A and B are shown apart, each in its own frame.
Chain A
Amino acid sequence: MVAHVSLTVNGKPREVDVEPRRLLVQLLREDLDLTGTHVGCDTSQCGACTVHVDGKAVKSCTMLAVQADGTTVTTIEGMATAEGLHPLQAAFWEHHGLQCGFCTPGMIMAAADLLARTTEPTDAEIRHAIEGNFCRCTGYQNIVTAIRAAAVVMRTGVAAPSGAVQGGM
């Protein structure tokens, strides 16, 4: 049995035929090759698979692909624009908010959801908002710093200096 799913992903309309049991995360990774969304668990704990569905952060391993029919999905690959990185991406980079990077896409998507709701979050609010996203590398400290810094940029358009310097690319 095959089900048909129509959805918009990162601004592009997509049509996919899936097995009914296919998860949204599998549709993104396997059918659309958007491998920036990761799978870190099998019990919906880790948050590595977090994407936005109709503007809200969702763990894409908890949703069937068929449930995403008719929705608009944004993944980490859709965060940067022609103007450059999303302020959260830039802040994670600037403040060393990632090490292995495996949790990072989900973490950024969860943080983006928070900043859409709250423009001036406290550290406690930030820590609460990413409670469903595990990071085993950073101890969360620089992630919290990065989200706080991104909030400032999104509010004021100005980035506070972090002391980090640009190396080579």
Chain B
Amino acid sequence: MAIDMLGKRVKRVEDQRLISGAGRYVDDIKLQSMAHCAILRSPYAHALIRGIDTSKARLMPGVLDVMIGADIPYNPLPMAWPAGGSAGLRNNVNTPRALATDSVKWTGEGVAAVIAETPEQALDALEAIVVGYDPLPAVVDAEKATLAGAPQLHENAPNNIVFEWAVGDKAGTAAAVDAADVVVRQRLVNQRLIPNPMETRGDIGLYNPGTDEYTIWMSSQTPHIQRLLLAAFVMGVPEHKIRCISPDVGGAFGTKIFTYADYPIVLLASKRLGGRPVKWIEGRRENYQATIHGRDHITYLEVAGKRDGEVTAIRVKTFANLGGRLSTIGPGIPTTLYARVLSGCYRIPHVYAEVVGVYTNTVFVDAYRGAGRPEATYVIERAMDLFANEIGMDRAEVRRRNFIAPEGFPYENPSGLGTASGGAKIYIDSGNYEPAMDKALEMAGYAGIEKAKAAARARGKYLGIGQSSYLEVCGVAPSKWIGAVGEGWGAAMWESANIKVHLTGKVVITMGTQPQGQGHETTYAQIIGHELGIPMEDIVVQHSDTQGTPFGYGSYGSRTSSVGSTAAIKAAAKIREKARRYAAHMLEASVEDIEVEGANYFVKGSPEVKKTFQEIAFALDLAFDAPEGMEPYLDETAYYDTPNCTWPFGTHVALVEVDEATGQVELVRYVAVDDVGNKINPMIVDGQLHGGIVQGVGQALWEGAVYSDDGQLLSGSMLDYAIPRASWLPTLELDETVTPSPVNPLGVKGVGEAGAIASTAAVANAVNDALKPFGVKHLDMPLTPQVVWKAMQSTKGAQA
């Protein structure tokens, strides 16, 4: 009998190759006669292109081809998620071309591409291309870009406005704000981040002149969607003539969801070379200018309520910087994925949000780990602290008084998650917020915090504590809701799985999802081993290649464990059912009398009269004795469209110490209590939380993409952008509560983004708490020594 691995800390299957240097990332792939591509990028943030002279570059050693925008017949890249959901809403859409033609909108926008025998020759030749630019004034700040007199980026977008979108009850919220005992107002900046997966992007294009087919190897989270978008919107090539392969992906965090200009460039380049493969690998500095950034909101917050701690209304106006042209789902992030979950885990009766999407002369902004939900969590969790401080109530107590009660589910929040015509609904289906908060506070020593603060003072440190009680939304769905409200990809959100059982009893699972380090090859094998009663070592998990895998929407938005796993379970159920029918035939019993236990199929009441799964697979594959009407072979595909999202939650608590002399912030302890439902592999869950938490801590304390006023990216390399290092961090302390999700059979929710969603607010709240003795109410992130020290100096010194 196979050991059931579901729910266990199983060592990952994929690690064998990754710890041995045998992983295969795009840049590790070498094809016969491969040529190399390099892309010339604009040094100006905003300019008209007068002309491009490539004649010298063409004569450089090894150069095979040079392309400019005019050489590329393809359409502009698609934008698949306009801000939606209300009548008459207008999106003023401008998306990137493969290469800019008449103007550039940010430093780093691609202008020309060189194809050469070696990468070095391609880079050398870039320097020989002469581009005539007429520089224009630039604007990088989303709020300033909407003001009169600001430089204008696009003719169809007056005042640089992409859209003005609103959700919630405007009048009701206004009345609640007016009637409140207390209203706290604060401007909050959620700074721009550079996601920094350790593997940059890259691709290899290969055109087959014999079949007129295109293959692209890409470091992507969404090979199927890329095939669809490239075919339907960019290249005008039928979908079945494109094949997308995503090999090992070295981290992604959202950045590798999208359609990028280099895809059509390498494919066209290969065609122009008669079918030689063409590789493009993004440099790190290039990654900072060619791959999406995240966050970048300016929010005017009003939080209103009663002196007894009840929050009665939240109203925000948010300027969301979307960059110089729109990335694939850029507008969807600050609308649906942000404003619709703004009230988090609180029962706030009135919520109203206005979001202005704005063009600026910066890199496009799109989904970065958490995508909208970290921004929402930051707003609501700062709001809770600001409100508590204003009314002089304990910050945890204010949260406690406003939590949706455990008996308050299903809960439809007032910013409109539940509403859709046609009966499709999204609502918060379950939760139990207090136990997670209590556990986290207890672990963090919240009760004794005043004593600890005094002790820290004696050492020249200001101790601060901050919490973040977050609500996450995983696996945004169902397709029906997305279709009804006009929000989402403009595409469905189901997932697929195929299971094949070979004659020898070995099993191949083929998934439409696409890992980037999450260990899918392990977790799906755990699940299917459990479902079919077979050992994990008899299972192999495949994905990542549009040829031979069922269509799938890929992996992002923490959707794999809830949506993908359920598709896999459905496929396994079909396999089991067919095996059961065949077992009945073999055992000369009726199907109803066959019971299944693990891999054993036996006649009810007589477990000794049995056939094993492997025996059944063998016989059914041979089909020497198949009954009339039964197809040979065990091969089943299932598609799963989840009826609702899943709703992880939890409380994270950060303790920081601020150095009196330098303003240096040290994260001294970090406690996280998360409820992600049941766990397929707790070791992998912990790993996802660790990584997410540290990314969020990075935003609170160190990270930030900085542009000069004229649009130069000052944090333009890893030298200038502060990625968290091992020595800056304490050991994270994790614990859990478990409230299984009611929407899927495993009771799982998803965990890819929870850490990043929760941690930024917890740490920011802690630093602001530490600075309370200085009269500080709010400081914007990143809370670097410079920011903190300045704030400490601007007051007369600590009052405590």
Contacts and interface: CB of A to CB of B under 8 A. Distances in A.
- Binding partners A and B: yes
Interface of A: 19, 21, 29, 33-43, 45-46, 48, 75-77, 79-80, 85, 89, 92-94, 96, 98-105, 108, 123-124, 126-128, 130-131, 133-144, 162-169
Given A141-B731, A167-B10, 7 more contacts: A35-B28, A36-B21, A36-B22, A45-B719, A100-B197, A139-B724, A140-B690
A167 B729 contact: no
13 contacts: A43-B719, A98-B18, A101-B14, A102-B25, A124-B727, A135-B726, A136-B196, A137-B251, A140-B690, A144-B726, A164-B10, A167-B522, A168-B535
B15 A93 contact: yes
Contacts of A94: 11
B25 A167 contact: no
B793 to A, nearest CB: 30
Given A127-B729, A165-B10, A48 B198 contact: yes
Interface string B512-536: 0000111100100110010000011
List the 8 closest pairs (A to B, CB-CB), nearest first. Answer: A36-B21, A101-B18, A100-B517, A168-B537, A102-B250, A168-B536, A139-B694, A99-B517
Given A40-B284, A99-B691, A143 B23 contact: no
A166 B11 contact: yes
B486 to A, nearest CB: 34
Given A96-B683, A167-B11, A168-B537, A76 B21 contact: yes
B19 A104 contact: yes
Nearest to A95: B683
A30 to B, nearest CB: 8
Contact of A38 (B13, B199, B518): B199
Greatest chain B CB density within 10 A among A29, A45, A85, A144 is at A45
A164 B686 CA distance: 13
Contacts of B683: 96, 164
Contacts of B522: 167
Given A37-B21, A100-B197, A137 B718 contact: no
Greatest chain A CB density within 10 A among B9, B13, B19, B755 is at B19
A100 B367 CA distance: 19
Nearest to A92: B19
B198 A135 contact: yes
B773 to A, nearest CB: 29
Given A36-B23, A41-B284, A168-B536, A141 B13 contact: no
A43 B717 contact: yes
Contacts of A33: 30
B694 A140 contact: yes
Greatest chain A CB density within 10 A among B13, B727, B755 is at B727
A165 B517 contact: no
Nearest to A35: B28
A123 B199 contact: no
A105 B151 CA distance: 47
Contact of A46 (B253, B718, B755): B718
A168 B200 contact: no
A141 to B, nearest CB: 4
A134 B516 CA distance: 17
B498 interface: no
B241 interface: no
Given A139-B691, A140-B726, A143-B726, A100 B11 contact: no
A92 B196 contact: no
Contacts of A39: 27
B199 A80 contact: no
A45 B285 CA distance: 12
Contacts of B24: 35
A41 B723 CA distance: 12
A98 to B, nearest CB: 6
A168 B527 CA distance: 12
A166 B250 CA distance: 24
B798 to A, nearest CB: 29
A141 B691 CA distance: 9
Greatest chain B CB density within 10 A among A37, A96, A168 is at A168
A95 to B, nearest CB: 8
B693 A139 contact: yes
